[in-house]
Amino acid sequence: MISKMKQVFEMYVDWVIDAFPVYIVLSALTMILIDMM
């Protein structure tokens, strides 16, 4: 049970690390669009 939780947690951490740059890019693009309006 504990090992299952650890596995899920590691998957979640990997996903967050992968998604973080995408999030930064999206927020930067949103800022640029708001500035243009």
Short-list 26, 25, 6, CA closest to 14:
6
The predicted-structure confidence for 6-16, as pLDDT tens digits, reads as follows 999 999 999 99
- H or E element: which one contains 14? helix 2-36
How does DSSP classify residue 1?
A: -
Percent of the chain surpassing pLDDT 90: 89
Domain ranges of the chain: 1-37
pTM: 0.49
> What is the distance between the alpha carbons of residues 30 and 22, in angstroms, rounded to a whole number?
12
